[in-house]
C-alpha cells in the first residue's frame, strides 16, 4: 500500500523560540515527519508563511496553518499515492490558488510536501537522499556536498554592527569528515582569537551559531580575524584544493535604502560598492558572494559576475549566489539567467513552498551551468532534511556554524549516516 491514510500536524518551536509547523504523514503504519524552518532576512518575493497575528507568541503562532493542514489539506490528499510527489504538490498549489501560497500558507504546504517525501522513501526502502536523487531525474549521482560554515554572524542574524550577514569558511579537503574537522578547529581558534582581541562578551553567538562580537564592526576586521583563525588552526587560506576558502552572504537588501548602501558606517553607491567587493576579492581568498546587491538589481549582480569571469581576473574568480534576488522562484531565476546575474542558486525549500518546485528550479540551474547551494534558515529545526537534499544534488550546503544542535544535526547526519564519498 502506498496511499496516504492520515496526516497530523502540530506547532513546535524553532531555534529562535518561535512557533513553526511539524507534519507527520502516514501510509498505514509507516510515517514520515518533517518540520519547516523560517527566515529572518527574507526576500520580498518569497512564499508567505502563515502566522496567527494574535496575542499568543507575540503574533507568531502557526495554529492557522495547522488548521489548514487538518481541515483543508488532509481531506484533499487522503487516498493519494504518496509516490506521486508532483501530483501531491500540484493539488495543494491548486487548492491555495495564490501566487505566494498565502491562503493555505507556504509553511503548511511545505510541511506536508516534505513529510510526503520522507514517508515515500521509507515505503521504497531507500534513504531520503536516494529517493530525492531519483525524483530529480538528473544524471547525477549522490555526492557529499561542499560545506559552507557561517562562523561570524552579522546583519539581521546578530545584535552587532556588522553590515554583512554571514562570514563563512569552506574547507576544501577530499572528505566530509576532514572538512567538518577543519571547520570545528577553526571555529574554536576563532573563539580564542576574538576573546584575546576584544575581551569578555565577544564570543556570544548569533542566530546561526557564528560569533557575533559587538566590537567587531567592519567587514575587513571580520575577514582579518578569520584569516588569523585559519592560520592559527594550522590550515592554509586559499581557493585551491586542501585550502580554506572564505564566503560572504552580504544580504545587501538589508542595508540598502533609497539608492544607497550603508555599510560599515559609510554610504556607498552601487558603483562604489562594486569596487569595494573587487578590493576584498583581490585581498582575501573569497570564493563566493551571496546577494552582493539589493534584490531588484539584476544588472549590478551581472557587472560583478562579468568582472569575475574576465580572464584578467582568473585568480579572483568567484561564484555569485542569488538568494533574495532569486528566492527559489522559477520566474526570478529565469530573469537572472537571461541577464547573466549569477552562477549559483541558493536553494531554500521554504522560499517556494513545495519540494517539487524546489527540485524543478535546481534542475533549471544545472541546465544553465549554475551551481546549487542548499541552505538552512536562521530559524531552524532539528530536521536534517536539507542534508539529504544537498547529498541528492551533490553540490553545496550551508547550514550554519559547527555549533548548536539545529545546525550540527545537518553535519552529523552527513558524517554519521552517509557512507558515500
Give the span between the Cα atoms of 366 and 345, in whole angstroms.
9
Longest dimension (CA), the chain: 62
**β-sheet bridge partners, residue 24:** 8, 33
| From 208, 290, 380, 406, the catalytic residue | 208
Whether the Cβ atoms of residue 376 and residue 399 lie closer than 8 Å to each other: yes
Collapsed DSSP state (helix, strand, coil) of residue 160: coil
262: annotated active-site residue? no
Give the number of other CB atoms < 10 A from CB of residue 282.
11
Out of 74, 305, 348, 410, pick the active-site residue.
348
DSSP string, 288-342: EEE--S-TT-HHHHHHHHHHHHSGGGGGG--EEEESTTTTT-HHHHHHHHHTT--
Cα 82 to Cα 87: distance, rounded to the nearest angstrom: 9
Query: Ramachandran region of residue 55, left (φ > 0), alpha (ψ -120 to 50) or beta?
Result: alpha
Of 131, 170, 149, 140, nearest to 284 by C-alpha is 170
Is 49 annotated in the active site?
Answer: no
Instruction: Tally Cβ neighbours within 10 Å of residue 304.
Output: 21
The CA–CA distances, whole Å, from 327 to 116, 254, 299, 410 equal 23, 15, 17, 22
8-state DSSP, 141: -
Integer Cα distance of 267 and 255 in angstroms: 10
Residues classed as catalytic: 208, 348
Amino acid at each position: 500500500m502506498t496511499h496516504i491514510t492520515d496526516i497530523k500536524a502540530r506547532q513546535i518551536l524553532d531555534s529562535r523560540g518561535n512557533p513553526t509547523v511539524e507534519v507527520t504523514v502516514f501510509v498505514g503504519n509507516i510515517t514520515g515527519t518533517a518540520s519547516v524552518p523560517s527566515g529572518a532576512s527574507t526576500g520580498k518575493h518569497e512564499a508567505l508563511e502563515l502566522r496567527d497575528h494574535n496575542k499568543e507568541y507575540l503574533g507568531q503562532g502557526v495554529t492557522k496553518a495547522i488548521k489548514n493542514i487538518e481541515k483543508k489539506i488532509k481531506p484533499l490528499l487522503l487516498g493519494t499515492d504518496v509516490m506521486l510527489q508532483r501530483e501531491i504538490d500540484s493539488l495543494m498549489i491548486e487548492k491555495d490558488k495564490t501566487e505566494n501560497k498565502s491562503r493555505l500558507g507556504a509553511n503548511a504546504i511545505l510541511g506536508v510536501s516534505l513529510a510526503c517525501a520522507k514517508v515515500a522513501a521509507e515505503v521504497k526502502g531507500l534513504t531520503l537522499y536516494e529517493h530525492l536523487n531519483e525524483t530529480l531525474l538528473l544524471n547525477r549521482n549522490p555526492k557529499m556536498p561542499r560545506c559552507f560554515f557561517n562562523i561570524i554572524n552579522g546583519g539581521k542574524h546578530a545584535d552587532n554592527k556588522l553590515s554583512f550577514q554571514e562570514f563563512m569558511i569552506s574547507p576544501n579537503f577530499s572528505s566530509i569528515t576532514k572538512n567538518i574537522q577543519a571547520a570545528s578547529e577553526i571555529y574554536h581558534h576563532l573563539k580564542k582569537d576574538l576573546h584575546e582581541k576584544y575581551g569578555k562578551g565577544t564570543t556570544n553567538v548569533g542566530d546561526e551559531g557564528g560569533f557575533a562580537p559587538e566590537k567587531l564592526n567592519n567587514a575587513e576586521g571580520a575577514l582579518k580575524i578569520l584569516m588569523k583563525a585559519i592560520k592559527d588552526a594550522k590550515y592554509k587560506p586559499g581557493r585551491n584544493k586542501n585550502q580554506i576558502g572564505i564566503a560572504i552572504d552580504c544580504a545587501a537588501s538589508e542595508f540598502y535604502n533609497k539608492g544607497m548602501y550603508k555599510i560599515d558606517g559609510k554610504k556607498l553607491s552601487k558603483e562604489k560598492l562594486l569596487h569595494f567587493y573587487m578590493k576584498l576579492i583581490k585581498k582575501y581568498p573569497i570564493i563566493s558572494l551571496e546577494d552582493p546587491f539589493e534584490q531588484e538589481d539584476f544588472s549590478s549582480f551581472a557587472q560583478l559576475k562579468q568582472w569575475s569571469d574576465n580572464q584578467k581576473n582568473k585568480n579572483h574568480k568567484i561564484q555569485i549566489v542569488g538568494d533574495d534576488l532569486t528566492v527559489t522562484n522559477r520566474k526570478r531565476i529565469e530573469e537572472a539567467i537571461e541577464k547573466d546575474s549569477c552562477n549559483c542558486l541558493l536553494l531554500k525549500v521554504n522560499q517556494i513552498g513545495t519540494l517539487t518546485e524546489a527540485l524543478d528550479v535546481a534542475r533549471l540551474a544545472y541546465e544553465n551551468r549554475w551551481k546549487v547551494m542548499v541552505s538552512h534558515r536562521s530559524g531552524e529545526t532539528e530536521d536534517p532534511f536539507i542534508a539529504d537534499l544537498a547529498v541528492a544534488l551533490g553540490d553545496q550546503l550551508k547550514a550554519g556554524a559547527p555549533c548548536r544542535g539545529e545546525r550540527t544535526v545537518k553535519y552529523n547526519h552527513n558524517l554519521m549516516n552517509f557512507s558515500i564519498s
